[in-house]
Amino acid sequence: MSINEDEEILYAEEVYTRASWKKTLLTLFLFIMVLTLGVLATTIGASSLGISESLHALLAELIPGEEVSHFAQVVVLQLRLPRILMAIITGMSLGVAGAVMQGVLRNPLVSPFTLGLSSGAACGAAIAIVLGVGILGTGQYIIMINAFLFSLLTMAVVYGIARIRGTSIETLILAGVAMGYLFSAVISLLQYASGNEQLREIVFWLMGGLYATKSESVIILIPIVLFITILLMRYSWDLNAMSAGEEVASSLGINVSQVRMICLFLSTVLTASVIAFTGIIGFIGLVSPHLCRLMIGSDHRYLIPWSGLTGALLLLVSDTIGRTMISPTEIPVGVVTSFIGVPFFLYLLVRRKRRWWQ
């Protein structure tokens, strides 16, 4: 190997290391932004609290003897903090799932709901609301359990159909669309047969919202989301190889079908876990990965955590807007995210028209 070639290799390694450190620092900065916005969100609402008072209320749980008013404790710790944490967890889950699904299916317009997961979850929730029937028993969590299990059932059916045809990307997407239409028809039928109160509950669930968040829900979701996100990060290199094409990935020793199945399953569980508690919150999983690709590229080692943090940031901002814009009336966060996501989605369609349909 010549001296010039050695110098080129060293230079390429130096550039790569510098870029990696830059992306790592930007990831840390984005994480700090999410935490900062979360703290600021505790001060915003119908009952205004100063940053100092909110911080004292947050620290009261960690530092014994910290003096804080009972009013601030109730507002911050019992009302706002669980909701803010749920917004961060949900946004992170949808962002990560969106980045992984777009990478696995090699389609930039795929979101966690493209394969019919949202329709399946909504159908399960509607069955629980109207008929009072749950797959696993009854009780206060019947709607959440039904929504979660129907999402998994949808993914199982979609993958089963695609498996018959060789698990091609096109078959997965088309099967998901078909299942979405089927479940939407069932939901419409249940809405038609429901009473006024049941119809109202279905509509609110379909719009998505964080207003019913409880501390128990946050405690349940945190370990699930973190564990699955870490598992998906392990497939970053495989997703990078698959983005170059299935033939390239196979030549590098990657079992494409197995990786696709595992990533889709983990993304489904991740998405189903959060929407079971929040209802349908659209476009976060579509918009977040695209924003991140514009800033840091398509390396999934950074794209996955960035998409998660960006999704958390977007959903936290959307929820804060929804609960304060016309306070004390609240706009469902699913409506706010749609107003943000639809223009961006249409922009993507117009921008990519030549590449896809010509």
Which domain, by its residues, includes 209? Answer: 3-357
Other beta carbons less than 10 A from residue 37's beta carbon? 17
pTM of the shown model: 0.87
List pLDDT tens digits, range 213-239.
Answer: 888 889 999 999 999 999 999 999 899
Nearest Cα to Cα of residue 232 among 118, 330, 103, 58: 103
Query: Looking at the predicted structure, is the pLDDT value of residue 358 above 50?
Result: no
Query: Looking at the predicted structure, is the pLDDT value of residue 106 above 90?
Result: no
Domain of 174, CATH number, reads: 1.10.3470.10
Using the Cα atoms of residue 120, residue 121, residue 122 and residue 125 in order, give the sign of their dihedral.
positive
Nearest Cα to Cα of residue 49 among 34, 58, 87: 58
What is the rounded CA–CA span in Å between residue 260 and residue 128? 32
Total domain count for the chain? Answer: 1
Query: Looking at the predicted structure, is the pLDDT value of residue 330 above 50?
Result: yes
* Average pLDDT for 342-351: 72
Nearest Cα to Cα of residue 154 among 189, 188, 191, 124: 124
